[in-house]
Chain A
Amino acid sequence: MNEDPRPAPARPISADAETVSQDDVDVDTYRILEPDGSYDAERLPDLDDETFRELYRWMVLQRVFDNRATKLQRRGKLGTYASGRGQEASIIGSAFALSDQDRIFPYGREAGTLLIHGLSMRDLLLYWRGLEDASRMDGANSFGVAISIGSHVPVVTGTAWGMKLDDADSVAFANLGDGATSTGAFHEGINFAGVLDAPAVFFTQNNQYAISLPFEEQTAADTVAQKALGYGIDGIRVDGNDVLAVYNAVLTARENAMDGTPTLVEAVTYRRAAHTTSDDPSRYRERSEVEEWEKQDPLERYREFLQSEGLFEAIDEEAVREEIDEMFDDAVAAADEFAERDVREIFEHLHEEMPPELRRQLSEYEELLDERPDMYEHIEQRPKG
C-alpha cells in the first residue's frame, strides 16, 4: 500500500449545486409602520384605541426612565446604568405581547419590560443601586438579570420544558442582545429547546453593537433570525423600531412556542446611548451614524401613526411626561427610604439554612464591626436604599 494514498489536492468536481448558503435563505424584515409614515392597515394588531395609546405612553416611559436614570448615575445616585434609548419599540412592543404567567429572563436594557411585567420602579432603581434585595424581582415573575451574557438561554429552555410538562398556558421569554448570539450557551440552549419543542421565545434585540463590536463583526451570518434554521426552529426578523410590528411578531412567536415551535425573534434596532454609563462610544462609532438612526426614532414613528389614525388627540404628551417624572421622583424617594442595610444580608439566602461555618463567619464579623468602628472608614456603603 502507498504510504499516503491520497492524490494531490485537485480541483473539486463541483458540489456547488448542493451547497446550502445563506444566500439561499430569504429573511424578510416584518414591518407595519414605514419610516415615511405610511402603514400597512391589513397588518394592524387588533387592539382597542386605549391600548394603542398605552403603547405610546409606555414608550415615553422607557425614554424618560432611561434619561432620568442616566442623570441619576451622573449624580452618583445610581450604579452603572444601561440605557435602552432607541430600542423603546422593541422593549415595549415585546412586553405588551406577554402574559403575567410568562416567566421573563431580562438582560438589563429593558426597564419597561420589567415594569410592565410587575416590578415596581423603586425596586428597579434599587437593582441599579446594587441592592441584593431588589433582585427578588418582586411581583415580576422573572429570573433576574442575566449579566453574564447568554447565560440565561439554556435556563429559559429548562423553564419552558417545565411549562410544557405542566401543559401551562405560558412561555419562557428570553431577552438578549446580538452579542449573546455568539455564546455557547445561546447555541446549546436554543438547540435543546428545538429538540424539546419547548414553549420558549428567544427575543434578540439586535441593536447593532455589543459594546464596541458592530453586528457585522459579531457573526458572518447576515441576520440573527436565520440562525433559527440551524436549530430547526422558527425565526422572525422584525423592524425593532416599529412597535406594532414587534408586538405582532412576539405575539406570533409566543403562539408558535405554545404550539410546540420555539421561536427566535430578531428585532432590528439601534442602541443610541452609550453601552452603559461607563462607556465612551466616540471611540468606536461616528456620531453621524447615530444621527441617521435618530431619524428612525421609534416614538416619532408611532406618534405619526397615532396622529393619522386620530388617536393622538386624546394624549397630552406634556402631561404624560409630567406624570412619569412624578412616578420617577416618587420611586427615587421610596428607594432613598429603603431600610438601612444590614451586614447579615450578604450572608443570608445563600442556603435555605445557614451552615454552621457561615454562621460563625457572620457572628465573628458582627463582633469585629462592633469592636472596630474604624471599619466604616473603609466602607463607602450606601446606608440606605
Chain B
Amino acid sequence: MQATIIEAINDALHEEMATDDRTLVFGQDVAESGGVFRATEGLQETFGGDRVLDTPLSEIAIVGAAIGLATYGYRPVAEIQFSGFLPPAFDQLVTNASRIRWRTRGELTAPMTVRTPYGAGVRALEHHSESLEAVYSHIPGLKVAVPSTPHDAKGMLISAIRDPDPVLFMEPKHVYRSFREEVPDGTYTEPLGEAAVRREGEDVTVIAWGAMMHKTREAVDNLDGIDVELIDLRSISPLDRETVVRSVKKTGRCVVVHEAPKSGGFAGELIATINDEALMFLEAPVERVTGFDVPVPLLAMEDFYIPQPPRIEEAITETVNY
C-alpha cells in the first residue's frame, strides 16, 4: 500500500496487536480519539478497551506502568503525546527501564516501546518541538530509534515492539504526512541498530536522521557536481559504527546534520567515532550542521532554528573544497 509515516505507524500497531495478544497500547488520547496525530486510530475499535487505553495525564505513570507490564510479561507500546513531555518520565527510563535486565542479571526484562513524536516545524506551542535523542542515547540499556520513511517507520516499529529490551521510538512528526511511499502489507521488520545508505557516493559522507533526512536530501539534490554518500542513521542507539566508518574511510570527508542543539548533540559522538576509527582517512575536518545552543523558538521564529537546505549545502561544499 501507499502510506505516509503516520499511516505506516498505524499499520504497524494494527499488525502487532493482531500478532501478539499480549501487546497493549496506551497513552493520552490514544483510544477514544485515536491519538492527537491519529497514530492509534481504529485500534480500540479493533482490539477493545482492555488492550487499547486512554491514560490519565501522567507521563511518569505511563512509562512506569509500561515497565511493570513488560517485566510481568506484556508487550506495552506507550505513547507520549509529544517528546517535550517525556522528561518527567526520564527518571523511569533511567532508574528502571534501561537497567532492569542488568540489575536482575537477566531475571526480569523490559520489552517495551515508548513512541513519541519529536522535532520542530509544526507551528505548535512551547515544549512541542525538541529533539532530545542524544540525551536518551546516553542511557545505557535504552535503544533509541528514529525512522525517516514510511517503510522504515513500519518495519522498525515492529522490530521495536518485538525487541527484548526497551526502545524509545522517536517519530519525525514534521514529515508524518508529507509524503507517501510503498509500504508492504503484513508484517516485516527493519533491524534496529543498522543505518541505511540512501545514496552511494565518492566525495563526501553526509549523515542525518529523522526529519533532517528530508532537508538533507533536498540540499544534496541541489548540489551539482558533488557525489554525496547519504546515510540515514535510523538508529541512534545502538549506533551502526561500521556503516559510518566504512563510508568515511571511502570518502574521506563527512558532514553530520541534526536538529538538536550543537553542544552535546549526537554529532559529537559520531565525530568521536570517526576519530577513533577513521582519523587517518580524513581529508577535511568533520562538519556539523545543527540547531543552535538555544531552546527551539516559538512558532514565529522556529524556521530560523531548523537547519535549512542552504545551510547544509554550504557545509557540504566547504567540506568538499577544504
Given the complex, which residues of B lie within 8 Å of A213, measured CB to CB? 28-29, 32, 54, 56-57
Residue interface bits B91-126, CB-to-A below 8 A is 1, else 0: 000000000000000000000000000000001111
How many chain A residues have a CB neighbour from B under 8 Å? 51
Give A130 to B314 CA distance when docked, in angstroms.
Answer: 29
Q: Which of A79, A212, A217 contacts B123 (CB 8 A)?
A: A79
| B300 with A358: CB separation less than 8 A | no
Given the complex, which residues of B lie within 8 Å of A168, measured CB to CB? none
Residue interface bits A123-136, CB-to-B below 8 A is 1, else 0: 00000011110010
Known contacts: A350-B294, A365-B292. The answer to whether A381 contacts B300 by CB under 8 A is yes
Given the complex, which residues of B lie within 8 Å of A93, measured CB to CB? none
Give A350 to B309 CA distance when docked, in angstroms.
Answer: 26
Give A357 to B262 CA distance when docked, in angstroms.
Answer: 10
User: Is A139 interfacial (CB-CB < 8 Å)?
Assistant: no
| B310 with A374: CB separation less than 8 A | yes
Interface residues on B, range: 35 or more
Min distance, Cβ B158 to any Cβ of chain A, angstroms: 27
Q: Which of A278, A341, A361 contacts B300 (CB 8 A)?
A: A341
Given the complex, which residues of A lie within 8 Å of B88, measured CB to CB? 183-185
User: Is B279 interfacial (CB-CB < 8 Å)?
Assistant: no
| A145 with B126: CB separation less than 8 A | yes
- Name A134-171 residues within 8 Å CB distance of B: 135, 145, 147-150
Give A374 to B127 CA distance when docked, in angstroms.
Answer: 29
User: Is B209 interfacial (CB-CB < 8 Å)?
Assistant: no
Give A108 to B125 CA distance when docked, in angstroms.
Answer: 10
User: Is A323 interfacial (CB-CB < 8 Å)?
Assistant: no
User: Is A195 interfacial (CB-CB < 8 Å)?
Assistant: no
| B57 with A210: CB separation less than 8 A | yes
Give A346 to B126 CA distance when docked, in angstroms.
Answer: 13
Known contacts: A213-B28, A375-B310. The answer to whether A147 contacts B125 by CB under 8 A is yes
Known contacts: A147-B127, A343-B304, A346-B304. The answer to whether A184 contacts B294 by CB under 8 A is no
Min distance, Cβ B26 to any Cβ of chain A, angstroms: 12
Min distance, Cβ B263 to any Cβ of chain A, angstroms: 7
| B311 with A375: CB separation less than 8 A | yes
Given the complex, which residues of A lie within 8 Å of B263, measured CB to CB? 357
User: Is B46 interfacial (CB-CB < 8 Å)?
Assistant: no
Min distance, Cβ B60 to any Cβ of chain A, angstroms: 5
Min distance, Cβ A285 to any Cβ of chain B, angstroms: 9
- Name B1-57 residues within 8 Å CB distance of A: 28-29, 32-34, 36, 54, 56-57
User: Is A283 interfacial (CB-CB < 8 Å)?
Assistant: yes
| A132 with B297: CB separation less than 8 A | yes
Given the complex, which residues of B lie within 8 Å of A372, measured CB to CB? 310-311, 314
Give A340 to B184 CA distance when docked, in angstroms.
Answer: 48
User: Is B200 interfacial (CB-CB < 8 Å)?
Assistant: no
Q: Which of B36, B293, B308 contacts A378 (CB 8 A)?
A: B308
Q: Which of B32, B59, B294, B303 contacts A347 (CB 8 A)?
A: B294
Q: Which of B128, B304, B314 contacts A379 (CB 8 A)?
A: B304
- Name A51-91 residues within 8 Å CB distance of B: 79-80
Q: Which residue of A lies closest to B53 (CB)?
A: A217
- Name A343-367 residues within 8 Å CB distance of B: 343, 345-347, 350, 357-358, 361-362, 365
> Which applies to chain B's interface (DSSP): helix, strand, loop or mixed?
loop
Q: Which of B32, B84, B124 contacts A284 (CB 8 A)?
A: B32
Give A323 to B298 CA distance when docked, in angstroms.
Answer: 31
User: Is B176 interfacial (CB-CB < 8 Å)?
Assistant: no
User: Is B136 interfacial (CB-CB < 8 Å)?
Assistant: no
Given the complex, which residues of A lie within 8 Å of B305, measured CB to CB? 346
Residue interface bits A202-223, CB-to-B below 8 A is 1, else 0: 0000000011110001110000
Q: Which residue of B lies closest to A347 (CB)?
A: B294
| B57 with A182: CB separation less than 8 A | yes
| A283 with B300: CB separation less than 8 A | no
User: Is A179 interfacial (CB-CB < 8 Å)?
Assistant: yes
User: Is A333 interfacial (CB-CB < 8 Å)?
Assistant: no
User: Is A44 interfacial (CB-CB < 8 Å)?
Assistant: no
| A341 with B301: CB separation less than 8 A | yes
| A211 with B29: CB separation less than 8 A | yes
Q: Which residue of B lies closest to A134 (CB)?
A: B298
Known contacts: A130-B123, A372-B310. The answer to whether A378 contacts B292 by CB under 8 A is no
User: Is B187 interfacial (CB-CB < 8 Å)?
Assistant: no
Give A313 to B123 CA distance when docked, in angstroms.
Answer: 45
| A218 with B57: CB separation less than 8 A | yes
| A148 with B127: CB separation less than 8 A | yes
User: Is A337 interfacial (CB-CB < 8 Å)?
Assistant: no
| A358 with B56: CB separation less than 8 A | no
| A217 with B297: CB separation less than 8 A | no
Give A218 to B314 CA distance when docked, in angstroms.
Answer: 50
| A212 with B56: CB separation less than 8 A | no
User: Is A380 interfacial (CB-CB < 8 Å)?
Assistant: yes
Given the complex, which residues of A lie within 8 Å of B36, measured CB to CB? 211, 278-279
Q: Which residue of B lies closest to A148 (CB)?
A: B127
Given the complex, which residues of A lie within 8 Å of B34, measured CB to CB? 283
Closest 8 CB pairs of A and B: A130-B299, A130-B298, A182-B56, A179-B57, A212-B33, A378-B308, A379-B303, A372-B310
Enumerate 22 A-B pairs (CB-CB under 8 Å) in ascending A order. Answer: A79-B125, A79-B299, A129-B299, A130-B123, A130-B298, A130-B300, A148-B126, A149-B85, A183-B60, A184-B60, A212-B33, A213-B56, A284-B32, A341-B301, A345-B297, A346-B292, A357-B293, A372-B314, A374-B310, A378-B303, A378-B306, A379-B304
Beyond A149-B57, A374-B310, 6 additional contacts (C-beta under 8 Å) are: A130-B125, A148-B126, A213-B54, A219-B56, A278-B36, A379-B308
